[in-house]
């Protein structure tokens, strides 16, 4: 086991952990966005999707626990990296300038990560740890038709967009997948995945805001 | 034909030793020939300081032709200055404007403790190289050059990685003070060639262990390193380092 611990605690091991958990979380986001897009087909379609999903019973709970574990590993490893990297330059540069490598996404990774964490706590409080006597559409509609929540969720989406704009490409590089033959393809797919997820969620936010509390059946 | 002489102001980092407080010092330099290299400009500054009875600015340099890796400083926030794929000694004053103020700082990283002024201790790199150990090369009389076939494109990639001169600009530019580009170059140049294959797993594990022990940071794939590398090493090498280490950790016999 010592090799396993040494690998996981090494600088490269932490990159692998971030990459693999990031990939899994990205996969979850895609599925989550795909499922939620049923709301575009109306209230009944959305409720039907939720009912079907929850008819999986204990599988949903198992999946939730696994997702929580992956998420906690991603957040805790990310925090360790953030704290470690803060101490690697004892004195700051007088002139701080980028030579052109960094992007908005890459330079804000830890901060957007924390914003996403805060957003998720709000999101779970809104829709998960709540009274589930009503159908899900009737829980979601009053909250998301409130412009204040549109703003909060919009901030969450902006953070997610920045985070994934770097993360989706970066995770492949961390796993050693970078080759001139397909680097452009990976960059394009990473961008597409980011755009797709953010696009769907933003459209849902706008739909709920414009629908003003009453979804078409 | 020499160009028009320029006047510049240098704002340069002065620090007597590792334990003392550092500060910036400003000097106005007149009649700077645009064909001078950056280090020659520092020579002019040091002559001026010496004649005034003051301590000259300490800075590392050796070959002054861009191949030894000794020189390096952060100029206006960019390691080795504004020109791409150029060491500080190969940077010329024609890239600066008349009347410009130039900020010169040492490479700052925990892995590179400061010695004096612009001189930093980069012996951490030597220790990482030492940790890498040996490669299996048969000794004895000279062998035929083509005994071990190496494909042209592989030889080129190995050569590109071996172009690293160990100057440390990648560490200086990395927002996390990581040494990944340097280590990945050294790992790649051997892992790509048959002569370096037998020890590749052991080497990857040992060099990463040494790199972490020297206090360098973790890679965030920010790509600042490849932008300042005077030899144009690509982060494709870092991807190879990631593969080599993963392979050694999962499937190695060490």
pLDDT at A22: 97
Chain B: nearest CA to A48, how far in angstroms? 42
B214-247 core/surface letters (b: 16 or more CB in 10 A; e: else): bbbbbbbbbbbbbbbbbbebbbbbbbbbbbbbbe
Size of interface A-B (CB pairs under 8 A): 133
Q: Residue A48: what pLDDT?
A: 94
Per-residue pLDDT averaged across B79-85, rounded?
Answer: 96
Contact A154/A206 with Cβ under 8 angstroms?
A: no
Closest by Cβ to B218, choosing from A11, A90, A95: A11
User: With an 8 Å Cβ cutoff, are B217 and A84 in contact?
Assistant: yes
Higher pLDDT, A2 or B37: B37
Q: How far apart are CA A88 and CA A97, in angstroms?
A: 17
Task: Judge contact between B155 and B177, C-beta under 8 A.
Answer: no
Rounded to a whole number of angstroms, the distance from the CA of A213 to the nearest CA of chain B is 43
**8 Å CB contact of A174 and B245:** no
pLDDT value of residue B175: 96
Q: Say if residue B230's pLDDT is above 90.
A: yes
Which residue from B171, B198, B192 is spatially nearest to B236, judged by alpha carbons?
Answer: B192
Q: Rg for chain A (alpha carbons), in Å? A: 20
Query: Is the pLDDT score of B247 beyond 90?
Result: yes
Distance CA A156, CA A90 (A): 33
Nearest chain A residue to B240 by CA: give it.
A176
Residue B225 in contact with residue B236, Cβ under 8 Å?
no
SS3 state at A17:
helix
Q: Could you give the residue ranges of the DSSP H alpha helices within A57-146?
A: 58-86, 104-107, 109-127, 136-144
CA distance B82 to B89: 13
DSSP string, chain B: -----EEEEEEEEE-SSTTSPPEEEEEEEEEE-TTSBHHHHHHHHHHHHHHTT-PPPP---S-SSSSS-----EETTEET-SSTT--GGG-BGGGS-TT-EEEEE---BTTB-EEETTEE--HHHHHHHHHH-------SSPPPTTSS---HHHHHHHHHHHT-----HHHHH-TT---HHHHHHHHHHHHTSGGGSTTHHHHHHHHHHHHHHTT--------HHHHH-TT---THHHHHHHHHHHHHHHH---
What is the C-alpha separation between A126 and B203, in angstroms, rounded? Answer: 51
- pLDDT tens per residue across span B115-151: 999 999 999 999 999 999 988 877 888 878 788 889 9
Question: What pTM was estimated for this model as a whole?
Answer: 0.94
- pLDDT tens readout for residues B153-208: 999 999 999 999 999 999 999 999 999 999 999 999 999 999 899 999 999 999 99
Q: Which residue of B has its CA nearest to A171?
A: B221
Q: Domains in chain A, ordered, with CATH?
A: 2-85+104-211 (1.20.1300.10)
Beta bridge partners of B74: B79, B105
Q: Give the pLDDT of residue B1.
A: 52
CA dist B184 and B145 (Å) reads 27
Instruction: Map tokens 């990631």 to a residue.
Output: B242
Q: Which of A85, A92, A173 lies nearest to residue B221, judging by beta carbons?
A: A173
Chain A: residue whose CA lies nearest to B216: A88
B2-24 pLDDT tens trace: 679 999 999 999 999 999 999 99
Question: What pLDDT digit, counting tens, does each position of A116-146 carry?
Answer: 999 999 999 999 888 888 888 888 988 999 9
DSSP single-letter state for residue A33: H
Residues of chain B with Cβ-Cβ distance to A176 below 8 Å are 239-244, 246
Q: State the CB neighbour count (10 A cutoff) for residue A185.
A: 10
Q: Please state, as a whole number, how many other Cβ atoms lie within 10 Å of the Cβ of residue A65.
A: 10
Q: Measure A125 CA to nearest chain B CA, in Å.
A: 32
d(C-alpha A153, C-alpha A144), whole Å: 9
Task: Determine the residue among A80, A81, A91 to mutate to test chain B binding: the one whose Cβ has the most chain B Cβ atoms within 10 Å.
Answer: A91
Helix axes of A147-174 and A11-36: crossing angle, nearest 10 degrees? 140
Q: Which of A26, A27, A28, A186 is nearest to B239 (CA)?
A: A186
Instruction: Give the dihedral of Cα atoms B32, B37, B40, B42; nearest 10 deg.
Output: 80
Give the closest of B13, B74, B222 to A101, CB-based. Answer: B222
pLDDT for A1: 66
How much is the pLDDT for B135? 85
Decide: B208 and A10 in contact? Cβ < 8 Å: yes
- Closest residue of chain A to B226, computed from CA coordinates: A101
What integer is the mean pLDDT of B63-73? 96
pLDDT single digits (tens) B23-60: 999 999 999 999 999 999 999 999 999 999 999 999 99
The token duo for A108 is 């804000």
- Residue among A7, A94, A101 minimizing CB distance to B226: A101
How far apart CA B178 and CA A101 sit, in angstroms, is: 14
Q: Hey, are the CB atoms on B245 and A106 less than 8 Å from each other?
A: no
Interface touch B236/A180, C-beta < 8 Å: yes
Choice among A105-114, A126-135, A148-157 with the minimum mean pLDDT: A126-135
CA torsion sign for A185, A189, A190, A192 is positive
**Which DSSP letter does residue A38 get?**
G
Q: For chain B, which domains are there? A: 6-105 (3.10.20.30), 122-137+149-251 (1.10.1060.10)
Is residue A96 predicted with pLDDT exceeding 70? yes
């Amino acid at each position: 086991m010592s090799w396993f611990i040494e690998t996981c605690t090494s600088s490269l091991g932490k990159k692998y952990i971030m990459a693999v958990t990031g990939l899994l979380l990205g996969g979850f986001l895609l599925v989550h966005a795909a499922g939620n897009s049923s709301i575009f087909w109306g209230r009944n379609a959305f409720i039907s999707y939720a009912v079907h999903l929850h008819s999986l019973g204990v599988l949903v709970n198992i999946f939730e626990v696994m997702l929580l574990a992956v998420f906690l590993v991603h957040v805790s490893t990310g925090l360790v990296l953030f704290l470690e990297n803060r101490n690697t330059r004892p004195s700051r540069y007088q002139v701080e300038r980028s030579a052109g490598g960094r992007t908005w996404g890459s330079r804000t990774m830890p901060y957007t990560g924390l914003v996403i964490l805060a957003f998720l706590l709000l999101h779970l409080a809104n829709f998960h740890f709540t009274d589930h006597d009503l159908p899900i559409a009737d829980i979601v509609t009053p909250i998301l038709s409130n412009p204040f929540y549109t703003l909060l969720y919009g901030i969450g989406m902006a953070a997610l967009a920045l985070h994934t704009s770097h993360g989706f490409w970066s995770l492949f590089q961390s796993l050693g997948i970078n080759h001139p033959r397909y680097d452009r393809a990976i960059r394009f797919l990473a961008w597409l995945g980011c755009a797709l997820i953010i696009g769907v969620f933003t459209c849902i936010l706008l739909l709920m805001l414009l629908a003003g509390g009453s979804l078409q059946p | 034909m020499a160009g028009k002489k320029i006047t510049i102001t240098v704002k340069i980092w002065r620090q007597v030793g590792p334990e003392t407080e550092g500060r910036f010092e400003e000097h106005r330099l007149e009649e700077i020939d645009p064909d001078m290299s950056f280090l020659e400009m520092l020579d002019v500054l040091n002559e001026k300081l010496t004649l005034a009875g003051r301590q000259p600015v300490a800075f590392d340099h050796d070959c002054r032709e861009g191949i030894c890796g000794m020189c390096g400083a952060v100029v206006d926030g960019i390691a080795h200055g504004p020109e791409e794929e150029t060491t500080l000694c190969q940077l010329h004053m024609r890239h600066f404007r008349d009347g410009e103020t130039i900020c010169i700082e040492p490479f700052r990283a925990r892995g590179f403790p400061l010695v004096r002024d612009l001189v930093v201790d980069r012996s951490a790199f030597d220790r990482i190289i030492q940790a890498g150990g040996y490669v299996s090369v048969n000794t004895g009389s000279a062998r035929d050059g083509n005994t071990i076939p190496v494909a042209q494109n592989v030889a080129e990639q190995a050569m590109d990685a071996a172009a690293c001169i160990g100057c440390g600009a990648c560490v200086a530019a990395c927002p996390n003070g990581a040494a990944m580009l340097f280590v990945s170059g050294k790992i790649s140049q051997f892992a790509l060639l048959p002569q370096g294959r037998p020890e590749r797993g052991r080497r990857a594990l040992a060099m990463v262990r040494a790199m972490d022990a020297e206090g360098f940071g973790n890679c965030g794939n920010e790509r600042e390193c490849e932008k300042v590398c005077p030899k144009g090493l690509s982060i494709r090498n870092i991807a190879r380092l990631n593969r080599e280490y993963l392979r050694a950790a999962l499937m190695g016999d060490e």
